[in-house]
Each structure stands twice: as structure tokens, then as C-alpha cells.
Amino acid sequence: MKELIAPDPWTVVQEGFDPVENRVYESLFCLGIGLFGGRGNHEEQYSGDTLPGNYLAGIYYPDPTRVGWWKNGYPDYFAKILNAADWKPIHVEVDGEPLDLATAEIHEYRRVLHLRTGELERTFRATLPNGRTVAVEAVRFVSMTRQHLGVIRYRVTPIDADVALHLTLAVDGDVVNEDSNYDEGFWTEVSRSFEGSRVSVVSRTRKTGFLACTAIDYEVRLDGESVGSEPTAVDDRDRYMASVVDVEVAAGQTLAVVKYGANVTSRDVDGDDVTTPCYAELDEAAAIGFELLRTEHRAAWTRKWEISDVVIEGDPAAQQGIRFNIFQLNSTFTGDDPDLNIGPKGFTGEKYGGVTYWDTEAFCLPFYLATSEHEVSRNLLRYRHRQLGKAIENAEKLGFRDGAALYPMVTINGEECHNEWEITFEEIHRNGAIAFAIFNYLRYTGDEAYLLDGGLEVLIAIARFWVQRVSWSEQRDAWVMLGVTGPNEYENNVDNNWYTSLMAQWTLRYTAVALDIARRLDPEAVDRVAAAAGLDEDAERAAWADVADRIHLGEDPERGIFLQQTNFLDKELVTVDDLDPAERPINQHWSWDRILRSPYIKQADVLQGLWVFEDRYDLDTLRRNFDFYEPRTVHESSLSPSVHAVLAVRLGRLAKAHELLLRTARLDLDDYNNDTADGCHTTSMAGTWIAAVQGFGGLQVVDGELRIDPQLAPGWTRLGFQIQFGGAWLSVSADAGSVTVENRGDRNVALRLAGELREVPHQETVTFPGRS
């Protein structure tokens, strides 16, 4: 854990330049917006350690698989999100000397990410090796209203001498992925163009054949007047094109450059012409100008915050953490395109490639369900539905048949990319999360018609998988689920992982329920779905029911706990307190076999199930399981603390819950795991929202009923959050004594608040007494 960022409710501030932590700051100061984004690299040249990163949503490369020992069923490639052309570079020379923060003497360096407006602001003074001192002020944003566009205003003021400024404004497509498996080049150049201030590079990805045009335009003004020499071109490297201008600037005068960057890919257009629409973006941006672009961008962020903000008063560290997390989530996925999803690092880094993990359904969906228009969540569901064919192929590759589907562990286009057998083939609980997401979407939105628009097909295919995946144990007289890896990846190839089997059981039962719901809506449509899937309804329903009714779910009656896996209690039942702190995190200090046979749990597993189905289990059951598993959980997955936080709140352990919430909320801001340099933990950020709103806010939907039950962590004076629910929009604000609910929607809403059924009329604000 590092103290990099001072707590503040609405900003993330770096005070002073720090070359050692440069990569971490580059991750924290990432800006993205649905279709593209990139790391907080400097505009100027920088000869120090840096991880340049610009990413275009959905543009990937199938990097050939690298393994030591091949196992049947491994995929051929790992899809890597590609480092793409950079639209940002503004290289500056002052009297022939490069402005490079690695060689200059730097004063008053300050970088501010304005969470409220999505703007990155940077100010500093630099004294160059040639003795010249300049003051720089840079403002950057990627437009929330124009998802192809980025804008920079870059101002330079010579302090103590008249200087000649030499500016190189580039599109730099000469980039690589640091984690390429075989050092293959991922891009080939298609064309480069230079037309004065307008410069572009069009590249094509190898193998996948995506086209991408990145183009820039700019204007240079001195005291409001256009200035500068006639631009000249620099194109001395492949996939690189720059426009160069020279300006004489007097001491104290401020040269202002506004640079527009646009990215358009072949995903955005029919046909191959990515340049024309890219240029159109630039034309429009230049016509509107920096100020108006910023105004509309700020207005869009204001709307985003209105429906997604979480207020925590009395705890600026938590407040800052959760806002940073919400900012990243809204930057990464805007929900406009059902072929996009939420990468584990968003646009903040290239690690983990792929895009889609079970994180999406298990952790991110609840956030988007409660804080976005329902179309956003629906597009996450449609993503999986569009990939159903690939999931069925994937299952066939592993020996399943008759339309059973196994969704990939990691994917970008529906094909499996992961290649560790114990995860790729065995961490099958992801199928359960994908099925449950459909139910979760329905209970928040009431949009039952989605079942006929894809939901049912996905449920049937997953139910078929579970039926085939279990085997019959004569000695148990039960269906068993052998050879699985649960959410706790610190156990591999175990039998009867309780969480996995529970999700299977639930899917099998819910699929039958979903068929009933859908048939009530439109029996003929159900018949069409059934016919297309080749569903033998009576026989398959019977099989689903049989497996669901007779699946083995391990319990220890003595301890009153569910068994994470059949042999868990054979382990040495030590706890985290027995660990030498010097050996933590154990994944950096212990050999893999030692971790596997230890009782230490990487992330919520049985407790994950108790969270997913929290309405099913009484508090005593929860307490017994929590008290058994929590002390053995090392939380070495960023996805873990949030689930424990929710359950700790339920058990009234608010201090524990607060500790866990902070750990998630500030994971990247404090570089807790010493890996933020690679990028932020974007999908885990949804866990912060879960801990705050489902945990402290008490948000649940049970049998169609909305429930809240706000409680404040020690030190908190207020907790506020937003809920989208069945077309309604509630804004909740709780202090120590009362809970105020503002119904911003058009219909009255009934909800259960701390156990009491309440009603809030539309467009009204009602204050209720708080929890007694």
C-alpha cells in the first residue's frame, strides 16, 4: 500500500512529479469513453520509464497460445486488446532543446483528475538543460458526447526569455504490446496522410484485419491569434505521421495549442473507409471548438453522476475511492454496443488481454443495473446471447453435445482464450453467473420479454451443460460435480464445489421457471425458441429437475456450514492469523502446491453463494459460514473483499465491512497490490459499489420487492446512492437518524426500508426514520 493520492471528494491529485511511480500514475490518470481510451501518458516526449497505452474498444489480435505442455482442448490463441495509435503526442522543443520531464528540472508539478467533469489537468514549470524555463498547462478529455473524439488544450509560457518553440503534433502508431507472446507485430500500415495541421494514420491488424484510422487536427494561437510557420511533415517511422510548426514566443506570452484526435475503426463503419468519418469528427470538433466541446462533455458527465453517484460523508478516503471507481466504470462501458464489454483493466492497461470474464455478470452487472438506463445492462446480456453459438462450440470441443454451452473463461469474440486447464476447463461456475445475470436483469427491470429475445436460449443451453457435467455417484446416491475450480482459485480440480453446484442447481430450476414465464407472455414464441434449440421439453425438464433435486451439496452438520468442496475439512484448519505477515500475500511467497493444500481462500466462494442468494439463508447460517470462511480468506483477488463486506454489514459487523470496503475502494489509488502500474482493476471497481450500496445501503430485490436498509460505517455522517428499478429512479440519502428517499421517476414506488414497507410517491421526497 502506498500513499500516493490524498483523499478528496471529487479529485485525484498528484502533487510533484515522481518518475519512480510514473506507470502507476499513468494508470490512475487514464481517460476513456466506451469506444476508446488510454493511459495518462504525457503529451510531451518522455525518455523515462513509461507504459504507453491507447486502446480501441473491440480491436484485438489473436496472439498464439504459449504453454509449456499442451492439453487437449486448449485454445489456439489469447485475444489481446491492442495498443493502438496514440493521438496525444505534442512534442515540444524550446530553442532546440526537447521538453522532456526525464531530463528537465521540474517545479510545481500538479496533475488533477476532475472526476466530476472527466477532465485531466496538468500544470508544471520546467527548466530545460539549456536553461530555458517554461510553464505548461494541459487540459485533456475524451468526449462523453462524441465517443470517437479526444481533445487537448496545451499551453506553454516561456518564463524568462523569448524562445523559439518547435512543436511536433503526431499520430504515433508505432506502438507494441509489452506482453506479446512471440514478439509478433500486431499492426500493418495501410496509409498515412499529411495535410498541414491534419495528419492521419490508417493501420490494419494482422490476422483479424480490423482497420483503424487515427487522425488529428490542431490550431496554434498566441494571444488569440493564429500563428506558426507553415506545417511540415515528419514520417520517419512506419505508422507514424506528425505535423511540425515553429513559433517565436516572447517571455511571458502564452502559446495555446488545441489538438483534436479522432479514432474510427472498421467496427464503426460499413466498408473500408475509416478515414472519411474520422475526418468528419475532426471537422465537427474544430467547428465547435474547445470550449463548447468541453461544455457538452461536462453536461454529459453531470447527467452520469446524477444517476450513479454514491455519497459518503465523513470519510473522504472512501468517498474518493468510490467516485474514482464509478468514474472508471462509466468511462469503460457506456452500454451502447452489445458487442463490447468490460475489460478487466478497461482502457488502463493491456494485461489479461481478452475483455470479458465472469466479472461482468457477477460484479459489474449489479452496478450498471442500478445506475444506468436498462438498455446498458440489456446490452451486456445480449453480448452473451450473440456469443451463444461459440459457447456451444466451446462445449463441443470439450465433449459436450446436444446444444450444451460452456461460456469461455476469457473471451472477446465468444471463443475461449484462457489456457490453464484448471481454470479454462474447470472454473465452470462462470456459466452460473451468466445464467443468474438474466434473472438479475429481470428482477431489476421487469423486462420479462428479454427471455424471448435471447434469455431463454442461453438458459436452456447452460442447463444442458450442467446436466451433462454432473455424474452419478453410486456411493452418495447423488449427482456429483467432479473436477472443478470454484471462485477460490487457490483450490483446483476439487469435487463438489458448493458454490458451483449451487449455481448449477439454481440454473436448472430457473430455466424451467423461465420457460413458464415466457410461455405466459407468448406461447408461440416459446415454441419457436424450443424448436430452434431442439428442446425435448418434457424429457429435459425432467432431467433438470432430477439433477437439481439430487445434486450433492456438501454440508458439515457439526459446524453447520456448507463445504467449499468435499475434502475441505481434511485440511489443516488454521486461519489467516496463523500466517506469518512476511509471507503475505501468499501468492507471492508460497509455492503453488502449498497454497493449494492450505485452507487459505483467495476470494469469496461459499460466501459468494450466500451473497448471491442472500434472501435464502438466515442470519445464523450466514454467521456460522462467515465465521468459518472469513478467517481463512486472504482476499488475494480484487473481487473478494466486496462480497465479504456486504455479508459483514448483514451481520452488523460494520467496522469489518468498512475495512473491506476501503480495501476495494482504494485498491488502485493506494496501489494496494503493487500492480496498478499495469493498469487499474476496472471490473473489481464494481465491487466497491456493491459493498457501499448493497452492503451499507442494504439494497436488495427479493421476489419483486425493492429493499433498502442503510447503515453507516463508523465515522460516516451520510450515505447517498441512486437506484434504477423497474423504470423508477430513487435517490437515497441516509444519515444517522433518518433515510430520505427522493423519487425522481414518474410512478410511485413501494419499497421495504429496514423491514418496513413504505411508499414514495413520484417526484416526491420523503424522509423516514432510520434503522432503530
Q: Which is nearer to its own copies, 72 or 772 (CB)?
A: 72
Q: Minimal distance in Å, beta carbon 435 to its own copies?
A: 20
Q: Minimal distance in Å, beta carbon 89 to its own copies?
A: 34
Q: What angle in degrees, to the nearest 10, is found between the helix axes of 498-521 and 537-550?
A: 150
Give 158: exposed, middle or buried? Use CB within 10 Å, 0-12, 13-18, 19+: buried
Q: How far is CA 680 from the centre of its chain?
A: 9
Query: Which residues lie near its own copies (CB under 8 A)?
Result: 65-69, 71-73, 397-399, 419-422, 425-426, 471-476, 480, 482-483, 492-495, 566-567, 569-573, 587-597
Q: Minimal distance in Å, beta carbon 186 to its own copies?
A: 19
Q: Which is nearer to its own copies, 157 or 564 (CB)?
A: 564
Q: Which is nearer to its own copies, 560 or 714 (CB)?
A: 560
Q: Minimal distance in Å, beta carbon 412 to its own copies?
A: 17
434 CB contacts (<8 Å, ≥6 apart)? Answer: 358, 361, 384, 407, 458, 462
Residue with cell 451439496: 553
Beta strand 705-708 with 749-753 is parallel
Q: Which is nearer to its own copies, 364 or 503 (CB)?
A: 503
Contact 466, 428 (CB under 8 A): no
Between CA 667 and CA 684 the distance in angstroms is 9
- Smallest CA-to-CA distance from 328 within 292, 299, 301, 362 is with 301
Q: Which is nearer to its own copies, 595 or 654 (CB)?
A: 595
Q: Minimal distance in Å, beta carbon 491 to its own copies?
A: 8
Between CA 350 and CA 678 the distance in angstroms is 7
> In 10 A of CB 2, how many CB atoms?
12
Of 415, 489, 540, 636, the catalytic one is 489
Q: Minimal distance in Å, beta carbon 240 to its own copies?
A: 29
Q: Which is nearer to its own copies, 474 or 618 (CB)?
A: 474
Please list the residues that pair with 83 across neighbouring strands.
55
> In 10 A of CB 594, how many CB atoms?
12
Give per-residue burial for 489-504: e unless 16+ CB within 10 Å, then b: bbbbebbbbbbbbbbb
Q: Which is nearer to its own copies, 594 or 616 (CB)?
A: 594
Grid cell in block for residue 769: 426514520
The conformation of residue 231, written as its DSSP 8-state character, comes to: P
Q: Which is nearer to its own copies, 135 or 569 (CB)?
A: 569
Please list the residues that pair with 705 across neighbouring strands.
702
The amino acid that residue 302 corresponds to is T
Residue 444 Cα distances to 296, 401, 457, 615, angstroms:
30, 33, 20, 15
Q: Supply the Cα-derived Rg of the chain in whole angstroms.
A: 27
489 annotated active-site? yes
Q: Minimal distance in Å, beta carbon 725 to its own copies?
A: 40
588 CB contacts (<8 Å, ≥6 apart)? Answer: none
Q: Minimal distance in Å, beta carbon 484 to its own copies?
A: 9
Catalytic residues: 489
